[in-house]
A and B are shown apart, each in its own frame.
Chain A
Amino acid sequence: MPASLHTILVVAKNTFRETIRNKVLYAILAFAAVYMLFTLFLGSISLGEDLHVIRSLGLAGMYIFGLIITIFLGSSLLYKELERRTLYFVLSKPISRAHLVLGKFLGLLSSVAVCLAGMTVLYLLMVAFKGGGFDSSAILAVFYQLLEMSLLIALTIFFSTFSMPLLSTLYAVLVVYIGHSLDLLMQAVQGASAPVRFFVQLLHYVLPNLAKFDIRSAIIYDASVPLSQALLVVAYAAMYVGLLLCVAVFLFEKREI
């Protein structure tokens, strides 16, 4: 195995271990489990639409709790190392800052993927319990969600190279909110003045369009998702992640530790 890949994987494994043992993570997962089980009750009072309610709220819940986990862990990932100076141990070894950032990204992505997998298993069990069989299409929705989370992890790593965790969290939440509203914003400013239209267009080009990763409604209403669209979304996520990590590495290289 090339030395650089080995180093990245070592950092990723360490990051995975460190994040997956965070007690706050278990508290969030416990809340997620309670919420998911609560959807069973909500389904039972929905007059024959129980499966629809469980699928709809279940997928939405997985998204919300996945988002909380991602932003919570991602926003302090690099900052904590800088503040507590654990980086001194790592960066005095034969490892570049770029490898460290990539390792951190992969490690956190693994932790988020494991959390999502756990929630997905619970969701699938609940749907099967309610007679919905194996909801294989939900796995595609979770895969799209994981792509969005990977983009958000890269985004929070980028933010944490220059800002404190609280600010990184705030920036990330803003990007999520705007990123899911870009199409609506573009429609809303159709008749607005030129500077407003220009500003929204700028946001549209610079910020990631996170609505592309939301196929939950399509899955719930059993609409098909073409393979070409899926590949485009994967490429879109990969491009943004690559770009954000490159800028994060550039900023991190410049930073005094």
Chain B
Amino acid sequence: MVWDVACRETLYIISYMIEIRDLKKTFGTHMAVDGISLSIKKGSVFGILGPNGAGKTTMMKVIVGLDRPTSGSVRIDGRDPAVRQTRESIGFMPESPSFYDHLTGLEFLTFCGSLFHTQAMKHHEYLDLLKRVGIFEAKDAPICTYSKGMRQRLAFAQAIVNDPAYLFLDEPLDGLDPIGRRELKSIITALQKKGTTIVFNSHILFDTEELCDEIGILHHGSLLYSGPIEAFTKGQPLEERFVSVIQHLS
């Protein structure tokens, strides 16, 4: 009996690598995240959807350890996200990223990579990564000369500079042209095939539908739904279903 329970718990931990339990985050009197509990499977692509101000970015910041929860807990691989070992296996791309404008793209990427003491890449690997995200030609140009799309690509590159087991992307496809979106989506798909667990926020529901195994719908800081896309859409297009659910609640 005890063995059976232990086995089930172990299997649960192995299959669900991101565990969020009754997570709350308040700013003064405003409840940005209101008691969210969520499990994200290992190797899956999980999309967090919600209207503006739903708490998506706040939740992601708490998950990656940038903000502390007011209450509740987040466990990645069974560990607190603020712990160094957890950070070693995390990649994070913030929304509308800002950079050190006086650095070049290559210098910035090298800087980000060097913060991973044990996993730091070699020079040619940084160049390969810049090629992969499509900004190799601009590697020696100051970041202040980059377009919005190039900045998005650079932000994506720094998120995968440590070859993370867990990748958190906040609006990764925002500001990209159709070619850029296709390129980044193909990288995301390749990472998923490699076993990377990917969590991302997006307003672009078409891309979410295309990339995600499961979704979570947030509204006013609460989780309305979590699970497979098909179970949520019930045969309707994701955008249509999402809008009708949110409008119904509003």
Seen from chain A, the residues whose Cβ lies within 8 Å of a Cβ on chain B are 3, 6-7, 10-11, 13-14, 17-18, 21-22, 84-86, 88-95, 256-257
Contact = CB atoms under 8 A, between A and B. Distances in A.
A73 B100 CA distance: 14
The secondary structure that dominates the A interface is: helix
Given A85-B94, A88-B92, A7 B115 contact: yes
A21 B118 contact: no
A92 B102 contact: no
Given A3-B117, A14-B103, A94-B117, A86 B111 contact: no
B94 A95 contact: no
Contacts of B84: 3, 94
Contacts of A95: 87, 115
Interface of B: 27, 61, 64-67, 84-85, 87-88, 90-92, 94, 97-100, 102-103, 107, 111-112, 114-118, 155, 158, 162
11 contacts: A7-B117, A13-B111, A14-B103, A85-B97, A88-B94, A89-B97, A89-B99, A89-B112, A89-B155, A92-B87, A93-B87
Given A10-B111, A93-B116, A94-B117, A86 B100 contact: yes
A109 to B, nearest CB: 18
B117 A18 contact: no
A6 B65 contact: no
A14 to B, nearest CB: 5
A90 to B, nearest CB: 7
B148 to A, nearest CB: 15
A92 B116 CA distance: 11
Contacts of A17: 100, 102-103, 107
Given A10-B114, A85-B97, 10 more contacts: A10-B115, A14-B111, A18-B102, A90-B115, A93-B115, A94-B84, A94-B87, A94-B116, A94-B117, A95-B115
B201 to A, nearest CB: 14
Contact of A94 (B94, B115, B158): B115
B152 to A, nearest CB: 13
B66 A257 contact: yes
Given A89-B97, A92-B64, A94-B84, A6 B117 contact: yes
Contacts of B155: 89
Given A84-B98, A85-B98, A92 B103 contact: no
Contacts of B64: 92
A154 B183 CA distance: 44
A249 to B, nearest CB: 15
